[in-house]
Amino acid sequence: MTLLAFVAATVAGAFGAMQRGARIEQEKLNAMEVAHRVLVGYMNDPETVPAPDEYIEQGRGRYRVLFSEQMLVEDESSDDHYSLRRPVPLKRTTMNERFGAGLILLTVRVYPYDDSGPVPRDTQLVELSRIYNPFSLNAFTDVFMQHVFRLLGKERGRMLQQQIEGQQR
């Protein structure tokens, strides 16, 4: 009888662990979908990135994201045969570095929004990075201009936009 109780407890424990593992994997899958949505949203409109205190619903869960963009600035140690680039936060780059770099490293980190799921709120579920060229000639003109204005900064971007609109009249 004791042996039967031991076997039943072991099977129940193993089944519970498998269920918890499946829920965690589903959380990670949902988080990966959220990360992809944020990246694609940024590429179409850089102003759509959610704030860290906002949540995004996916499946049965709610998730929060931390988004970072870093310019990939050419390293001085590069030579004629190859180019090394180092990530520098956008706010710490000069205007020449921003437009000279041409490539941006986008990183999205996804966390559970609250502790209601199988993973604690402070546990990172997914980190997804992508190298992006905001100056791609394949981009739509309005998306391209949004990225240019964003890299220029609000004041300079507004001045450029006014100049462009003045020339179109």
112 pLDDT higher than 80 = yes
pLDDT value for 96 = 75
Do 165 and 120 share a domain, yes or no? no
Do 141 and 80 share a domain, yes or no? no
Do 119 and 139 share a domain, yes or no? no
Q: Which tokens go with 38? A: 């944020």
State the pLDDT confidence band at 7, using cuts at 50, 70 and 90.
Answer: low
Do 25 and 80 share a domain, yes or no? yes
Do 98 and 163 share a domain, yes or no? no
Do 154 and 101 share a domain, yes or no? no
Do 67 and 119 share a domain, yes or no? yes
63 contacts: CB under 8 Å, gap ≥ 6: 30, 31, 34, 55, 56, 57, 110, 111, 112, 113, 125
Do 128 and 152 share a domain, yes or no? no
Domain residues for the domain of 145 are: 134-169
Do 117 and 155 share a domain, yes or no? no
Do 124 and 145 share a domain, yes or no? no
pTM of this prediction?
A: 0.72
Mean pLDDT of the chain: 80
Do 67 and 123 share a domain, yes or no? yes
- pLDDT tens for 81-105 read 777 788 888 788 777 777 777 788 9
CB-based contact 28:122 (threshold 8 Å): no
CB-based contact 85:70 (threshold 8 Å): no
Count of domains observed in the chain: 2
Do 82 and 30 share a domain, yes or no? yes
- pLDDT tens for 39-54 read 999 888 888 889 988 9
